[in-house]
Amino acid sequence: MQKVYNFSAGPSVLADEVKLQAQKDFLNFNGSGMSVTEMSHRSKWYEDINNEAGALLRELMGIGDDYYVLFVQGGASTQFEAVPLNLLVKGKADYLVTGNFAEKAAKEAQKYGDIRIAASSKDKAFTYIPDLDTVEFRDDIDYVHFTMNNTIFGTRFTKFPKTAAPLVTDMSSNILSEVVDVNRFQLIYAGAQKNIGPAGVTIVIVKKDAIDHPMAICPTMLKYSTQAAADSLYNTPPCFSVYMSMLTFRWLKKLGGVAEIQKINEYKAGLLYDFIDNSSFYTNRVNPADRSIMNVPFVTPSPETDAKFIKEAAANGLVSLKGHRLAGGMRASIYNAMPVEGVKALIDFMKKFETENR
């Protein structure tokens, strides 16, 4: 088979080592004679997986004992509602709207309290992060919410909001890709399907003292306290997704951890941005200081040429490069598991395509 580089924004490329291990052990995990897809979540085998996954994530991100690490279901979209349902005590929160998912998060929260959009970059098609030195937040709010990396538009926060209010952030598309001080946050959430594992599990990292006052209308299954009390085993968890996440955590630890992968990610992103910036054919519209190192959107001189690019790239084993319908053009998602060779292969193809279509 042809070697394929998968630039999908999510679900996304997993490390070869992780996939090979999962395949090898697929019929017989750890001598159990069973597949992880069929074993009881109350078995010693799965208990070990659940514990190791949690412990490794704590180690990789430097998460202290004052936080719960939860594995839940429903994706970040469910967290858009779980966050206000659990954290709105005074009933007020401020949101930064820097993309489609940030906007959805704010919209869902508005059903549950007094939500103010403190700043938005919608005026320029979400191509920048608002200047955090000038954004003002209300005094009496429960939290400030922002989306640390914006998957569709290719921006990221390199600084955090200046406020005494607790911070809540959606790290779905940048978790474990760069060093982040967890202690700055009240709550971090992330769908696993970009930098961690198969879709179906969502990570929630939340301060232990923040989960005791869910709103009365909060469903039991959306309360953080429900899974916190049961070590994420209140009901049947998405076992195989947690298992493959654990394999990714092992892989990342062996590779040197988050600081090490961050260097590689910055190198990969640098290669691609440098090539685009030095080209008169390809354009990335994002404010350079706010560029994501995970998602790199770009366009050619015309939508027709974009369509041709996507088609020919796929024929050359560079797949899922089509940009989100809200952004158009192309998008290369170069998460942790995308090897440097994949980015180089993309750049080689871009060069060739430019020559043929200039």
| Nearer CB in complex with a copy of itself: 75/166 | 75
Give 50-59's long-range contacts (Cβ < 8 A, gap of 24+).
50/231, 50/232, 50/233, 50/237, 50/242, 52/246, 52/249, 53/242, 53/243, 53/245, 53/246, 53/249, 54/231, 54/232, 56/246, 56/249, 56/250, 56/253, 57/203, 57/245, 57/249, 59/253
In 3D space, the residue among 290, 11, 355 whose CA is nearest the CA of residue 154 turns out to be 290
Least Cα distance to 204 among 41, 39, 91, 61 occurs for 61
Mark residues 106-125: x for contact with a copy of itself by CB under 8 A, - for none: --x-----------------
- Based on CB atoms, which residue is closest to a copy of itself, 81 or 178? 81
**Least distance from C-beta 313 to a copy of itself, angstroms?**
13
Q: Do residues 147 and 170 touch, judged by C-beta distance below 8 A?
A: yes
Q: Which of residues 86, 152, 175, 197 is near a copy of itself by CB under 8 A?
A: 197
At its nearest, how many Å lie between a copy of itself and the CB of residue 181? 28
Q: How far is the CB of 118 from a copy of itself (least distance, A)?
A: 23
**Residue 151, marked binder:** yes
- Work out how close the CB of 12 gets to a copy of itself at its nearest, in angstroms, rounded to a whole number: 6
Considering only 32, 120, 225, 279, the residue that binds a copy of itself (CB under 8 A) is: 32
Number of residues that bind a copy of itself (CB under 8 A): 64
Asked if 59 touches a copy of itself (CB under 8 A), the answer is no
Residue 172 labeled ligand binder: no
Tokens of 327: 């952004």
Nearer Cβ to a copy of itself (161/191): 191
Binding part of the chain for a copy of itself, among 115-123, 203-211, 237-245, 264-272 by CB under 8 A, reads 237-245
The CA–CA distances, whole Å, from 94 to 51, 136, 161, 168, 257 equal 35, 10, 11, 10, 33
Site for a copy of itself in 166-185 (CB under 8 A): none
Contact 30, 247 (CB under 8 A): no
Binding flag, residue 13, a copy of itself (CB under 8 A): yes
Asked whether 193 and 73 are in contact (CB, 8 A), the reply is: no
Alpha helices in the chain (DSSP H): 16-24, 44-61, 75-87, 100-109, 224-229, 239-255, 258-277, 303-315, 340-357
Q: What's the rounded Cα separation, in Å, for the pair 249 and 217? A: 35
Among 26, 274, 301, 348, binds a copy of itself (CB under 8 A): 26
Which CB, 157 or 240, lies closer to a copy of itself?
240
Of residues 354, 301, 295, the one with CA closest to residue 326 = 295
By the rule CB under 8 A, 74 interacts with a copy of itself:
yes
Output 7 or 273, the one with its CB closest to a copy of itself: 7
Footprint of a copy of itself on residues 272-331 (CB under 8 A)?
Answer: 317, 319-320
Contacts with a copy of itself, residue ranges (CB under 8 A): 1-4, 6, 8-14, 19-20, 22-23, 26-28, 31-35, 37-41, 43, 73-78, 80-81, 85, 108, 191, 193, 197-201, 217, 219-222, 234-241, 244, 317, 319-320
Give the residue ranges of the annotated binding site for L-glutamate. 42
